[in-house]
Structure formats: C-alpha cells, structure tokens
Amino acid sequence: MSLAPDPIKRALNGGAPAAAEPLIFEVSRPGRRAVAQSPLATVAVALPAALKRKTPAALPQVSELQAVRHFTRLSQLNFSIDTHFYPLGSCTMKYNPRACNTLAMLPQFLGRHPLAPESHSQGFLACMYELQEILKDVTGMAGVSLTPMAGAQGEFAGVAMIRAYHQARKDEARTEILVPDAAHGTNPATATMLGMKVREIPTDAQGDVDVEALKAVVGPQTAGIMLTNPSTLGVFERNIKLIAQIVHEAGGLLYYDGANLNAILGEVRPGDMGFDVIHMNLHKTFSTPHGGGGPGAGAVGVSERLRPFMPIPVVGKAGDAYKWLDERDLPQSIGRLSTFMGNAGVLLRAYIYARLLGREGMHRVAEFATLNANYLQTRLRERGFDLAFPTRRASHEFIVTLKRQKQAIDLTATDIAKRLLDYGFHAPTVYFPLLVPECLLIEPTETEDKETLDSFVEALCAIWEEAKQDIAFVKGAPYTMPVRRLDDVRAARQLNLRYQPG
Amino acid sequence: MSKIPSELKYVKSHEWVKKLPDGSVVIGITDHAQEALGDLVFVETPKVGRKLAAGEACAVVESVKAASDVYAPIAGEVIESNPTLADTPETINTDPYEGGWMWKLKPSNPAEIDGLLDAAGYEKSLAD
C-alpha cells in the first residue's frame, strides 16, 4: 500500500495543516488601494443625486498584491477534480478535457455579441445546430432545445412541456406527477413549482420501481412520471419498458432525468425506452467544470408529440444558413427561459467534448464509467464492505451501507467522509439516497485509472481498521486540512453567511 | 434500541399519535425517526386551521443529512402547532414524545385512531 506521506503520522506529528486564510476584510487597512486597477475618475453617466450612495461601500481596502495573494492562497485550499479523486455519486465529477475550455474560449466565440445578427453568428449557430443533432442522436429524441440554463431549469422546461401538452389537448384534469421514492429531490420540487400534485411510488428490495404500486395509482389524473435511469440507487431500472407502457396507456407522459446519463451514453437511448421528454445536464455528462454552483446547461430533448412545445430559441437550418427559431416558428412553445439562448459557453464546451469523443468515444464513456464502478464495487465487497444492492450489477455508481459498522463500532458515513480527506480523496456522496442508512454513493467516473481506484479501496479499508482500533481518532478527522471537523449542525442552525463590519 | 412508548399509536412512516381526554390528538415523530435523521436543524409544522387527509404530507423535518416529509397519520383539522420547534428543532431529538410534539389535530373520524399500529406493531414494522 503506497499512501505516502502516512496521513496518521502527518496528523500525530502535528502535520501542520495550513493556517486558515483570513477574510480579505481582516487584512483591510484604511486608504490602502490598488491604484493601477482603479476606475476612471471621470463619471461616464451623471446619476441623479438621489440615487448616489451617501456613504462609501464597505469594501476591503487592500493592495493589488494582497488581493492576488489572498485569492491565490484560497484557490490552493481547493479540494478539486484537478488535484484529487472526486467520487461524488450522482454528480458525475469527471475530468473536463482542457481542449474543451481552450476551444470554447477562442476569441471569435468570446467576442460574439448575443444580439449580433444571424449573418454574423453562423459559426456559433452551426455549432449549436450540430450539438442539437448530436444530442438527438445519442438520446433517441425527435427534437432538442439547448436553452435551459441549468439542470433545474431543464426539469422545469420538461414538466412545463408535459403540462402544455395536456392543456393543448384540453385534458386538463391531468395534474398529478408520479415520482419514485428514490428520485432526486429536484423532481418533486420541479413538479410542485409547476402546480402539479406529487405522488410517490415505492421501490422494491431490488431497487426497481414497484410496478404493482404504479399500476394502482395511474389514471385520468396522471400527467406523467419522472424517472432517472439508472436510478439514484445505482442500478438500471429493468422494468422501464413495462413502466412506459403502464404510464402511456393511462394517458401520461414519461420524463427522463438526465442526471445519470453518463452510465448509458451511446449504449441505450431514453427515446428507445419510451421517454417523451428528457433533460441533460450538459455540464456533468458533457464536460464543463461544475459543482461550484454553475454555470450549467440543462438541454431538453423531446419526442415528436412534444416538439411544438419546446422552449425557444432553437437553432434551425434553411439551406446552408442557420437561423434562430422563435415564437413565429413554434407558436405553442412554453416560451423563453432566459434573455438570450442559455449558457453559450457551457454549450460550446459540450459541443467540443462531443466532437472530441465522436460516436465511438461516446460509447467508451459509458463503458469505462460502468467498468470503473463495477471494479470498485467488487473490490470493496471482497474486502468486507456491505453493498446496498448486493445482487445487482452497478451502473456508473453504487451504494455501500455502513449500517453494520455503525452498530458495531459507531463508524458513520460522515466519519469515513471526513477521514478520507486525510488520505487525499474527496468524500463520496453521503446519506443519499435517503432510502439506505449510513450510505456512501460512489461514482468513480470513466476518467480514473486502476491505480487510483485501488488506492481508494486501500484508504477505505485502512479507515475501517483505524476505527476498530480507535474510533475516537477517526471521529476527530480530518487532521491535515486547513480546518478540523466542522460543526455542521451549528452551521445550519445559526446561519452566519456574511461579513459584517464593526 | 429506540424507545417506543406502549401507550401511543403509530404509523409505519414513523409518526406517533396520542389521544387526549378532550378527543383531540397530539402528533410527532418517533425516537427511531429522530435517530435516523440525526440532528434536526429546521422543522416546519402545519398551520392551524388546515384540514388534513390521512397520509397527506403536511410537515417537514430537516437534519444535516436530509429533509423529510412528515405525514398526517389520520384525517382532521390542525388546532395547534408546537411554537417552540422553530427556534429549538433539537427538542425533537432530545424529547421526541413530549416536548418535541409537532401538532394537535381534531380528528374527522376518531375511530381512525384505532386502526393505527400499537407499540408492538410498530416495533415489528421496524424489524421488517
């Protein structure tokens, strides 16, 4: 086992975690400035006196060098995919190839104004049109709109289209959305935001949707069902065709949450499974750095019957020319979701990523993502860890439950998560999905090598061993980070989010 | 082992129900539920006057791990909500069956209470 330097030794020898960086306000001194960065002294627009502030803004007063050092030091405290293995389940924290970034930042893309005429935007429009076509092809949908600016907005657009479809048919009693209890929390939230009633469907012991329970609740009130496949339990929903049939026969539509698209990319298509609408988290599956709250891109794909309702604008092609399609082309559209057409930079990265992969590469994403997950799952089972669904093959992620360790030695998922940081690994997702007690949801993604996966297994085993010897030591972790174990309960109960001068 | 007082009635979804002499009932979540959720940081109780159907999601308990719905065990009208939980949600952790009560209900059909699980039945449902 090669885990140098030994994290325990580092901890016990006073392994000198870096001192926490002070707030930039704390190094502020009155009158200190970065003159070279100062704005022009002249005021370009004469604001009415009533709108001008009476007192100066409470900004930190530091030199340019202080600002540079402060933010550089903060950046060095990051625990990120560029520095560490990051197996955060349900999040697809894959490595984002540098080329996607470089090419999306070509000056011709960066300099394009969103109000530039179509004749000046043909290059950008061509990329967006091709991205629409690629996504249609890889998901098996009839139409794609790229405009939603995040996964949540893509979900919103998807359910809004389902609602618009039923309303257009005067089938307005359909106000209920079915959601399996293993769903992402965003699914019921989305349905509720759109004024739908949410009804939960239970999951059976094997991790599949309980088909009998589904049959019992579908009816003339059913607007649709929201599903993630593979589900958040890390297993493929085997009855998907049957589920599609039951919901369709009842008059409802099927919504595919693209959170776990990475597992099936190029292998199985949601359109072929019977889904009517899908949102894709392009920032996850198609490579934009994420996890810091954005920006995202939640493109939506639709079946033929939902095409008229797609959010606008969509890119169309007439002869050799690309053009925006808007209200005139799609009069039944659910409308616009942003001022222009979504997060252009994220969409460009997705396009470049798709082009770098090509059709063959797209398959390999799913194949390696699932191979890595199954390898990790098998290794951890061999070393004595309990799987939540031991009889099932993993998708791109899988669940370990520490229920037994918790009962025997009080070792919790949080303890493992915190101690893993000392071993140089970001924690997997913990305590999600809610159905499994003390769980770790592990998603290695396709971009990790075998050596990294092996050392992750060794770290988990080492922590379990440490816990058997001295649980108090593990509960004190992390030891090598800038801060020790944070009081997350107090942080949630006493919100203190803003620096308040004085 | 979590506490399951024998004088209360229970629902599989981890709510308890206590009959009061005036015919109303008090509702909260069980010791097992608070233990599984961990330290609570936020509680939302139903508004007084709200009419609830049995099984309706009507309250929320949020811990550092998860936010969960709490369901109405029986139908009825909310006549009081525990005002202390907004500031001290941890009362549910420390005292789930007394100080941590969530809301009082005037049952639409008092006979519904008899159909709920008793302590032994709830304990069995935990073992399943």
Q: How many CB atoms lie within 10 A of CB A71?
A: 12
Inspect the interface and report whether the beta carbons of A437 and B66 lie closer than 8 Å.
no
Q: Biggest alpha carbon distance in chain B?
A: 38
A437 inside 8 A of chain B by CB: yes
If contacts are CB pairs under 8 Å, which of residues 149-188 in chain A contact chain B?
185
Chain B contact for A213, CB < 8 A? Answer: no
Q: Which residue in A430, A432, A489 is closest to B41 by CB distance?
A: A489
Task: Kindly report the nearest CA distance between residue A102 and chain B, in angstroms.
Answer: 38
Closest partner CB to B64 (pick from A432, A437, A488): A488
Of A437, A488, A492, which has the smallest distance from its Cβ to B36's Cβ? A437
pLDDT recorded at residue B100: 96
- As a whole number of angstroms, the distance between CA A146 and CA A315 comes to 9
User: Does A431 sit within 8 Å of B65, measured CB to CB?
Assistant: yes
Would you state the CATH architecture of domain A100-357? Answer: 3-Layer(aba) Sandwich (3.40)
- Cα–Cα separations (whole angstroms), residue A135 to A206, A300, B86: 31, 9, 47
Size of interface A-B (CB pairs under 8 A): 18
What is the token pair recorded at A385?
């860890």
Q: How far apart, in Å, are the Cα atoms of B73 and each of B14, B51, B52, B111?
A: 9, 13, 9, 12
A434 interfaces chain B, CB cutoff of 8 Å: yes
**Chain B interface, best mutation among A488, A490, A494, by max B CB count within 10 A:** A488
Bridge partners, residue B28, by sequence? B16
CB contacts of A493 in chain B (<8 Å) are 41, 89-90
Residues in chain B closer than 8 A to A490 (CB atoms): none
Locate CATH 3.40.640.10 in chain A: 100-357
Following DSSP, what letter does each residue of A461-485 receive, concatenated? HHHHHHHHH-HHHHHT--SSSSS--
Q: What is the pLDDT of residues A36-54, one digit of tens each?
A: 888 777 777 788 989 989 9
Q: Would you call B64 an interface residue with chain A, using a CB distance cutoff of 8 Å?
A: yes
Question: A185: which chain B residues are within 8 Å (Cβ-Cβ)?
Answer: 67
User: Which of B41, B94, B128 is most worth mutating to test chain A (most A CB atoms within 10 A of its CB)?
Assistant: B41
Contact A492 B64 (CB under 8 A): yes
pLDDT the model gives residue B43: 95
B31-54 confidence digits (pLDDT tens): 999 998 989 999 999 999 999 999
**Among the listed residues A361, A422, A373, the one whose alpha carbon sits nearest the alpha carbon of residue A400:** A373
- Mutation target vs B (from A431, A493, A494; most B CBs, 10 A cutoff): A493
What pLDDT is attached to residue A18? 52
**Which is nearest to A71 in space by CA: A80, A83, A58, A62?**
A62
What pLDDT, on the 0 to 100 scale, is given for residue B76? 96
pLDDT above 90: residue B66: no
Whether residue B125 has pLDDT greater than 80: yes
Whether B86 contacts chain A with CB within 8 A: no
List the domains of chain B with CATH numbers: 14-127 (2.40.50.100)
Of A430, A434, A493, Cβ closest to residue B41: A493
Rounded distance between C-alpha atoms, residue A366 and residue A378, angstroms: 18
pLDDT attached to residue A502: 63
Sign of the torsion angle spanned by Cα atoms B113, B114, B119, B124: negative
Q: What CATH code would you report for A361-493?
A: 3.90.1150.10
Q: Which of A212, A201, A218 is nearest to A252 (CA)?
A: A218
Residue found under tokens 């990265």: A349
d(CA A227, CA A190): 13
- Give me the pLDDT at residue B25, please: 96
pLDDT along chain A (502 residues), means of 10: 43 49 92 84 81 89 95 89 90 91 94 93 97 97 97 96 98 96 89 95 92 97 96 92 97 96 94 97 90 86 98 96 96 94 94 96 96 97 97 95 96 96 96 88 96 98 98 96 89 84 66
Parts of chain A belonging to CATH 3.90.1150.10: 361-493
The pLDDT assigned to A3 comes to 40
Per-residue exposure over A346-372, b if at least 16 CB sit within 10 Å of its own CB, e if not: bbbbbbbbbbebeeeebeebbebbbeb
User: A495 at the B interface (CB within 8 A)?
Assistant: no
pLDDT for the residue numbered A90? 85
Contact list in A for residue B41 (CB cut-off 8 A) is 489, 492-493
- Is A489–B67 a contact, with Cβ atoms under 8 angstroms apart? no
The C-alpha of B7 sits at a distance from chain A's nearest C-alpha, in angstroms, of 28
CB contact B53 to A (< 8 Å): no
